[in-house]
Structure 1
Amino acid sequence: MPVKQRRISRMAAAAACGILALAAGCGSTTAAGKHEAKPIGSRATAPGSPSSSASPVDLKPFQGQQLRHYLLTADDLGPGYTQTETPDDKKAADPHRYDDMGVSGCPALEELGKHSDEVQFAAKTSVGFTFGSDSTLGEELHSDAPSKLAAGLRRLMHAQTSCPTYTMTSGSTPVTVTVRKDDAPSPGPDAYAYTTTLTGPGGSQVLKTAAVRRSNVMVMLVGAPALVDQHIGAAIAKLPAS
């Protein structure tokens, strides 16, 4: 693959690792070795499930290990999908791998980057897949108190969709990013979708992001638009009941 095309693919990979990538870099939530909050109550209905007696406002975050129970698998997706290394794999979890990437021309994203600690959630897990030779699909699950998830998701999505066009840089290579809001993938106030086109010297790549919060868990699916549209329903269906 030519160097310039690798630059485009690397930026696409950064976007595909979640909407926090452009603000603070992937892996900035729940870094290895840090404490992850446990769900409230000592009598969970099942491993990774919140207490049946907890009200929505009282629900505490899942642990990362518990969150993995709700990730999509290759079996969920069907034939043709191969699971790849994910950002929270131990050997792939480098918190500095996007340090040379920047954003300009979008004040909301630039401001969010200055205060990224305010939109970090208590727990995170992720998984990635390839389909065919060049299509990708990435999923992230985040967990925190429902009110914090709702507020953080609104802030993140507002920042991501507030600028129709801005510039990303990887080292000294500029890439033009265009953003289009899409119809929400699920009823309710905490559901969002948008399509991003990254265009640079090596070509263009189109990604779709869909995000939905249910109770104390939020799912984000990022990848080829057709794959996101096809599987977002299954991703939502795997979330714990509200």
Structure 2
Amino acid sequence: MSIVDNGGWPMLGKQRRISGVAVAAAFGTLALLTGCGSTPAAGKHGAKPTGSRATATGSPSSSVSPADLKPIQGQQLRHYLLTADDLGPGYTQTATPDVEKAADPHRYDDMGVSGCPALKELGKHSDEVQFAAKTAAGFTFGADSTLGEELHSDSPSKLSAGLRRLMHAQTSCPTYTMTSGSTPLTVTVRKEDAPGPGPDAYAYTTTLTGPGGSQVLKTAAVRRSNVLVMLVGAPALVDRHIEAAMAKLPAS
């Protein structure tokens, strides 16, 4: 499951809290499309970096080429998460970075998307955008602003290909409809300037409109080496902290 989750419909209007539906819309991840997100998979990918493959912080040793980098797992990956101290005064952490405990795989069974073939196609090939390891954190700022962060780790080539496919699917439909139960939510997506140089940096804004009003979220995603960072939340907060999130990633 993805980051900060209130377990239900977005709280539209004055309180802009990221719920499960809003996160799925902003990330376009598998929480909605397949009922599961990327999870640590040591058995599938073989594992935590050991020996000459990585240093104690997950950085590659000088003898390892970028193509050979292994996924960073557990506490090593959490090392790259933003903290409330990184963000500054006024921020409170609201979500634990420990997402290795599986969420209910059926909690999104009543959610669906229509009007965006690319997202539906992505759901048919979900394994192509599931990565070996993941961790997350969420923060609130003031009374009604929220910022969430996800980190994923895998080989650089798999992260690059998966992120490219994910971003293409999410931004290929300017407007589509998402439903939770029988309640429709109109989703409008707009591409934004990439938050950094290179091919593996993306940003877009998502406007979710439902019976109670509208909610605007921004998503920024950047890959560095074998770690991918995604920030989602109030556009001003994402813009303010994406550089700090990128600065904590391992060197390319």
TM-score, normalised with respect to structure 2: 0.85
Question: Contact 2:42–2:48 at 8 Å: present in 1 too?
Answer: no
* 1:7-46 equivalence runs, <5 A: 7-9=9-11, 10=19, 11-15=21-25, 18-20=27-29, 21-25=31-35, 27-30=37-40, 37-39=47-49, 41-42=51-52, 44-46=54-56
Q: Percent identity of the aligned residues?
A: 85
CA distance in 1, matches of 2:89, 2:101: 27
CA distance in 2, matches of 1:208, 1:132: 18
1:185 aligns with 2:195: yes
Q: 1:116 to 1:85 in 2, by over 3 A?
A: same
CA distance in 1, matches of 2:28, 2:41: 17
Contiguous gaps of at least 5 residues in structure 2: 1-7, 12-18
CA distance in 1, matches of 2:36, 2:97: 7
1:176 aligns with 2:176: no
Deviation at 1:189, TM superposition (A): 0.6
Counterpart residue identity of residue 212, structure 1: V
Deviation at 1:35, TM superposition (A): 7.3
Deviation at 1:114, TM superposition (A): 1.5
Question: Contact 1:8–1:199 at 8 Å: present in 2 too?
Answer: no
Q: 1:58 to 1:40 in 2, by over 3 A?
A: farther
Deviation at 1:38, TM superposition (A): 1.7
1:84 aligns with 2:86: no
Deviation at 1:92, TM superposition (A): 7.9
Deviation at 1:128, TM superposition (A): 0.5
Runs of 4+ in 1 over 6 A off after TM superposition: 31-36
CA distance in 2, matches of 1:34, 1:99: 25
| Secondary structure class of the residue paired with 2:128 | helix
| Residues 125-144 of structure 1: per-residue CA shift (max 9 Å, x gap) | 11011111111101001111
TM-score, normalised with respect to structure 1: 0.89
Which of 92, 95, 99 is the equivalent residue of 2:109? 99
Select between 35-44 and 154-163 the one with higher mean Cα deviation: 35-44
Q: 1:149 to 1:47 in 2, by over 3 A?
A: same
CA distance in 2, matches of 1:83, 1:62: 23
Deviation at 1:235, TM superposition (A): 0.1
Q: How many residues align?
A: 236
CA distance in 1, matches of 2:79, 2:112: 33
| Secondary structure class of the residue paired with 2:195 | coil
Deviation at 1:89, TM superposition (A): 4.2
Aligned to 1:153: 163
| Residues 64-111 of structure 1: per-residue CA shift (max 9 Å, x gap) | 331100000000001111111248446783333222211110000011
Which of 73, 77, 88 is the equivalent residue of 1:67? 77
